[in-house]
Amino acid sequence: MTGVLLVGTVVAVTLLWQCDVRWREILSLWLQKNDYRLESAEYRVFRLGPFTWTSARGHAVFYIAVIRPDSVRKRGWIRLSDPFGGPVDGNIEVHWET
């Protein structure tokens, strides 16, 4: 029984780690594509901002702060979809704060 729990735990941690690597890769590519410099990114589990009622399994929501090329700071919410499906840049939705 202990062996099964240990193996299950190792598999779960490995999958979570792979998802985290994938989310960060997608976020990094989005930043490069939009010429933003990342100031901070907070992965959100419970407080999902504008994505609270529409997020599902396979989504990652971050609260981000970026700096545009003209040095203007922007803050907002970004939702990344499908960590293991589709193209590496996946589906991305952004809601900027005003």
Q: How many angstroms separate the Cα of 12 from the Cα of each of 5, 6, 19, 75?
A: 10, 10, 11, 32
pLDDT at 84: 58
Q: What is the largest CA-CA distance in the chain?
A: 58
Give residues with Cβ within 8 angstroms of 44, minimum separation 6.
Answer: 61, 62, 63
Q: Mind listing the pLDDT tens digit of every residue in the chain (98 residues)?
A: 788 787 778 776 766 666 677 778 888 999 999 999 999 999 888 888 898 888 776 788 999 999 999 999 999 999 887 655 554 446 789 999 97
Q: How many angstroms separate the Cα of 31 from the Cα of each of 6, 14, 45, 60, 92?
A: 38, 26, 21, 16, 11
Q: Domain segments of the chain: what residues?
A: 2-96
pLDDT at 71: 94
pLDDT at 85: 55
